Structure 1
Amino acid sequence: MAEIEIPPYFVCPISFQIMEEPVTTVTGITYDRKSIEKWLMKAKICVCPVTNQSLPRSSEYLTPNHTLQRLIKAWILSNEAKVVDNQIQSPKSPLNRIHLQKLVKNLELPNCFQASMEKILELAKQSDRNRICMVEVGVTKAMVMVIKKKFKEGNTNGLEEALKIIRLLWNEAMINNMMKPLVGKNMDFMNSLTWILKIYIDTNNFEMVNEVMPLLKLTIDVVDSNLLGNLNIEFFVTMVRVLRKRRLFSKQAIKSALYVLIETCPLGRNRTKIVEAGGITELIELELEKPEKNVTELVFNLLAHLCSCADGREQFMRHAAGIAMISKRILRVSAATDDLAIQVLSVIAKNSTSKEFVLEMLQVGAVSKLCMVMQADCASYLKEKARDILRLHSTTWNNSPCIQLYLLTRHQR
């Protein structure tokens, strides 16, 4: 079959594909809607790709080119070309702002609330164009207000839709610098999410726990750090519960929980609160399941923070597998993990003089691993840390038959 020559004015200047939904910009150039909207959404400076003239970012300034649409459709049919299901699909009408504003207004009416929430979620899922429009007309703010209102009322109606809508709109709202003023200036939204998460854990709503945890992670990034230092114990109990029930939730939810704990750990008395909630025990149990590399790095990061306080070290030492687990991961995961693992062993070795601890390090292979670090291709500062730990209890370890003598004597000064 001979090649069919495509009329050049049927082709989008960005994608170089036949346009499915041609729209004309204010500069007079026609593009496929998906291509130009993606261009405008990601561009730091909005200019026409062909003329280099300034363009408004909003999609409301894109005019559907119905004449060209009909010509392309007729040409495809006449040439039996296949674009989408043997024909170009009719374009969806752009989201009507007035209709959207009415949906937001209807959220205040009890009889219309649920239907409006479901419709907004449906529209948010459809396209980037819809999500941009929603952010511009204030849907993000409306959803934040819904969540905080439901928290105060103790009412869960509409929460699932509100949470999903906020996640869909978050990136666009961040581009417009909207999220910090909405959720980062006080603890209302954080407290609401904690309450919601607890309900979903209690009711075994695993799907929504998976929805809330990434949203909580995003929220932590915009909340003022001085506020995070005042988180209550209930918040950390809830985070640790997510780790405890880890097999029920997605990997993303578990990573989000670890990230949240790492970000909040250094502030105020949060370290003590995480330990009080049983955090170290659950971290060790999680690591014993041999998770993927980036999860291990998060776990060790958090353990290093928590073991810097006395309560944390005490809880770590109470776990029968703590020292063994740390030792086993050295030289097996990553350089970052090695650094954190030796940091944990160092702080525990310096603060624990009990005979049981010294013998345990020997029996589970921690001393051997430190000697291996001395011989491995590691950073010099890491070898120095390992040497310092070995010196702390060298008298006991030198006299033990549990380790080959040359491993210790080679590194004495």
Structure 2
Amino acid sequence: MEDLSGMRHHLTCPISLQPMQDPVTAPTGITYDRRAIERWLAAGHATCPVTGQPLSLADLTPNHTLRRLIQSWRPRPTSSPADVVTTEPPRQPEALFQNLMLCSCPPPVGVLREAAEVASQSDAARRYMVDAGALQRALRLAVSCAKHQQEEEGSHELEACLGLARALAISGDELRSPPLLVADSHAHDLVDAATDVLVALAPGDAARASVVELLDRATEAAGQAVLERLRPELFRALTAAVCDRGSCPGAARPALRALLHACPVGRNRALAVEAGAAHEAVELALDAAAGAGGRRATELALALLAELCACADGRAAVAAHPAGVAVVARRLLRVSAAADACAVRVLAAVAGRAAGPEVLREMARVGAVGKLCCVLQADCDAAVKDAARAVLRLHSAVWSGSPCVSAYLLSRYL
């Protein structure tokens, strides 16, 4: 077997929900991708995201066995002698840049696509064009096309501008190497311009999926300084993309991932909650539970909810949704190990020490308490069980008297 489909959930980072590149293991026994856990700790967290136990960068240990397993399961590109013989020499980026900068505004679609192809094939050509200002021109053209797009030809021009911006800004295959973003000074321009494009596009526009995908990759690779400067309009536009998944289904998942990449920064969590991201994540999980979405969408929705519940407004938003607690409990033990860890994090956050009696009664009524008891019986990770047990112990006096909770289970497993 040459792909990750059979073992993908075993090789997925609990934070980013992407295949791990450089797995590291915490003392709690949870394995993360190094980039994701370092970003989590750099955002000011000092605990394990899954278990809540104290964690520092020095506690992380490289998991060489898992790393070798991941490398053995990566797809390997095939080549033949004919490929070597027929490969044309790379075109000169200087000539392409001159065409790009001197052509009419906007340049012909063919010029944009040729420049994108060369940039994606040659890192040297890519860096030359970025240093010469091609990225800024591509971003300005994309914003202009988005604001004036009315005809089908305009759609092709916008797609070509976005393709060039992506090729110039980001390189690297998703499953083989981490994405490489341009310097932070360019990265902020990229995210800022992509935000303007997404805001300018009408709901249902086919180009929205391309813009959101660009934002997904850009926020994944962006540094802390860039993430701290994200605009409120970005969170509203990404949340709208999740909400409009019926008219533009290809934008929902990358929009969730982009929100997830931004949320380790505390300010961004508040902006996402204010934009309604918690509500839309619950709605997406509801659609997936009803058969309208897949496992991947559910994992992303639960992961985003777990991040948003790290702030008080996020916990309040989940508890305020009529189906917030219920849908998280329903998806627990039904999707994947990564989803189980996120679901327990959400329930533990909502039922924290500051939880009101209404929330605790709701958890008992919709079966969330029973599901947490089932986690203790199931074949789950020990850290996930510990987190579930901590919640049950915290409110056992309240839940043991509820007719909706089995007092036998509480007494047996606590």
**Same fold judged by TM-score > 0.5?**
yes
1:186 touches 1:223 (CA, 8 Å); kept in 2? yes
Deviation of 1:320 after TM superposition, in Å, equals 0.6
2:139 touches 2:193 (CA, 8 Å); kept in 1? yes
Structure 2 Cα separation of the partners of residues 148 and 215 of structure 1: 12
Q: Which range moves more in the overlay, 134-143 or 310-319?
A: 134-143
Structure 2 Cα separation of the partners of residues 393 and 268 of structure 1: 28
Unaligned runs of 5+ in 2: 1-78, 149-153
For residue 182 of structure 2, give the secondary structure of its aligned residue in structure 1. Answer: helix
2:97 alignment partner in structure 1? 104
For residue 350 of structure 1, give the secondary structure of its aligned residue in structure 2. Answer: coil
For residue 334 of structure 2, give the secondary structure of its aligned residue in structure 1. Answer: coil
> For residue 363 of structure 1, what is the amino acid of its counterpart?
R
Alignment of 1:371 with 2:362, yes or no, is no
1:67 alignment partner in structure 2? none
Deviation digits for residues 275-322 of structure 1 (CA, Å, limit 9, x no counterpart)? 111110000001111132222222222111111111111111110101
For residue 333 of structure 1, give the secondary structure of its aligned residue in structure 2. Answer: coil
> For residue 214 of structure 1, what is the amino acid of its counterpart?
E
Structure 2 Cα separation of the partners of residues 190 and 399 of structure 1: 52
Deviation of 1:248 after TM superposition, in Å, equals 2.0
The structure-2 alpha-carbon separation of the partners of 1:377 and 1:151, relative to structure 1 and needing over 3 Å to count, comes to closer
The structure-2 alpha-carbon separation of the partners of 1:302 and 1:179, relative to structure 1 and needing over 3 Å to count, comes to closer
> For residue 275 of structure 1, what is the amino acid of its counterpart?
V
2:263 touches 2:269 (CA, 8 Å); kept in 1? yes
The structure-2 alpha-carbon separation of the partners of 1:378 and 1:137, relative to structure 1 and needing over 3 Å to count, comes to closer
Matches within 5 A, 1:156-235: 156=148, 158-168=157-167, 179-181=181-183, 184-185=185-186, 187-200=188-201, 202=202, 204-206=204-206, 208-235=207-234
Structure 1 Cα separation of the partners of residues 408 and 180 of structure 2: 62
The structure-2 alpha-carbon separation of the partners of 1:136 and 1:400, relative to structure 1 and needing over 3 Å to count, comes to closer
Alignment of 1:332 with 2:334, yes or no, is yes
For residue 166 of structure 1, give the secondary structure of its aligned residue in structure 2. Answer: helix
Matches within 5 A, 1:347-362: 347-362=349-364
Q: What is the aligned counterpart of 1:270 among 248, 268, 271?
A: 268
Structure 1 Cα separation of the partners of residues 124 and 383 of structure 2: 52
Matches within 5 A, 1:13-412: 15=80, 19=82, 31-34=84-87, 59=89, 95=91, 97=92, 101-102=94-95, 104-109=97-102, 112-114=104-106, 116-123=107-114, 131-132=121-122, 135=125, 138-139=128-129, 143-150=134-141, 156=148, 158-168=157-167, 179-181=181-183, 184-185=185-186, 187-200=188-201, 202=202, 204-206=204-206, 208-251=207-250, 253-290=251-288, 291-412=293-414
The structure-2 alpha-carbon separation of the partners of 1:351 and 1:244, relative to structure 1 and needing over 3 Å to count, comes to farther
The structure-2 alpha-carbon separation of the partners of 1:411 and 1:153, relative to structure 1 and needing over 3 Å to count, comes to closer
Structure 2 Cα separation of the partners of residues 333 and 268 of structure 1: 28
For residue 335 of structure 2, give the secondary structure of its aligned residue in structure 1. Answer: coil
The structure-2 alpha-carbon separation of the partners of 1:405 and 1:146, relative to structure 1 and needing over 3 Å to count, comes to same
Structure 2 Cα separation of the partners of residues 138 and 103 of structure 1: 11
The structure-2 alpha-carbon separation of the partners of 1:178 and 1:333, relative to structure 1 and needing over 3 Å to count, comes to closer
Q: Which range moves more in the overlay, 357-366 or 159-168?
A: 159-168
The structure-2 alpha-carbon separation of the partners of 1:285 and 1:169, relative to structure 1 and needing over 3 Å to count, comes to same
Deviation of 1:243 after TM superposition, in Å, equals 0.8
Structure 2 Cα separation of the partners of residues 403 and 136 of structure 1: 61
For residue 222 of structure 2, give the secondary structure of its aligned residue in structure 1. Answer: coil
The structure-2 alpha-carbon separation of the partners of 1:273 and 1:193, relative to structure 1 and needing over 3 Å to count, comes to same
TM-score under structure 1 length normalisation: 0.68
Deviation of 1:184 after TM superposition, in Å, equals 4.9
RMSD between superposed Cα atoms in Å: 3.3
- Bigger RCO (CA 8 Å, 6+ sep): 2
The structure-2 alpha-carbon separation of the partners of 1:184 and 1:288, relative to structure 1 and needing over 3 Å to count, comes to farther
The structure-2 alpha-carbon separation of the partners of 1:166 and 1:386, relative to structure 1 and needing over 3 Å to count, comes to same
The structure-2 alpha-carbon separation of the partners of 1:281 and 1:124, relative to structure 1 and needing over 3 Å to count, comes to same
For residue 247 of structure 1, give the secondary structure of its aligned residue in structure 2. Answer: coil
Number of aligned residue pairs: give it.
319
> For residue 289 of structure 1, what is the amino acid of its counterpart?
D
Deviation of 1:331 after TM superposition, in Å, equals 1.0
Deviation of 1:323 after TM superposition, in Å, equals 0.7
For residue 302 of structure 1, give the secondary structure of its aligned residue in structure 2. Answer: helix
> For residue 197 of structure 1, what is the amino acid of its counterpart?
L
Deviation of 1:132 after TM superposition, in Å, equals 3.6
> For residue 303 of structure 1, what is the amino acid of its counterpart?
L
Structure 2 Cα separation of the partners of residues 299 and 339 of structure 1: 13
1:56 alignment partner in structure 2? none
2:172 touches 2:180 (CA, 8 Å); kept in 1? yes
1:147 touches 1:159 (CA, 8 Å); kept in 2? no
1:300 touches 1:340 (CA, 8 Å); kept in 2? yes
Structure 2 Cα separation of the partners of residues 249 and 328 of structure 1: 27
Structure 2 Cα separation of the partners of residues 149 and 129 of structure 1: 18
Deviation of 1:217 after TM superposition, in Å, equals 1.9
Structure 1 Cα separation of the partners of residues 203 and 342 of structure 2: 36
Structure 2 Cα separation of the partners of residues 271 and 386 of structure 1: 24
Deviation of 1:273 after TM superposition, in Å, equals 0.7
The structure-2 alpha-carbon separation of the partners of 1:124 and 1:407, relative to structure 1 and needing over 3 Å to count, comes to same
TM-score under structure 2 length normalisation: 0.67
Deviation of 1:128 after TM superposition, in Å, equals 7.1
2:309 touches 2:346 (CA, 8 Å); kept in 1? yes
